[in-house]
Amino acid sequence: MGAFQPIHWIIVAVVVMLLFGGRGKLSAIMGDAAKGVRAFKDGLKGEDEAEKPAKPISTVEGGKE
């Protein structure tokens, strides 16, 4: 019952962030983290699409040559 447990340190860190960081800064940090995760997922999707061969584009319009 002497030292702080890891959960105590997490609670202290959250309280300190809310007191000194404010709600706006915390939400901005979380928004930046969400954008990073979204960019990572889009990057993974981009690799799958890059492996697919591109379809040839026809230069003939309306069947006329």
Does some domain include residue 55?
no
Does some domain include residue 59?
no
Domain count along the chain: 1
Q: Is the pTM of this model over 0.75?
A: no
In the chain, what percentage of residues exceed pLDDT 70?
63
Tokens of 50: 């890059």
**Distance (Å, rounded) from C-alpha 14 to C-alpha 20?**
10
Per-residue pLDDT tens digits for 10-23: 999 888 877 777 66
| Nearest one of 1, 30, 5 to 18, comparing CA atoms | 30
Does some domain include residue 52?
no
Does some domain include residue 18?
yes
Does some domain include residue 51?
no
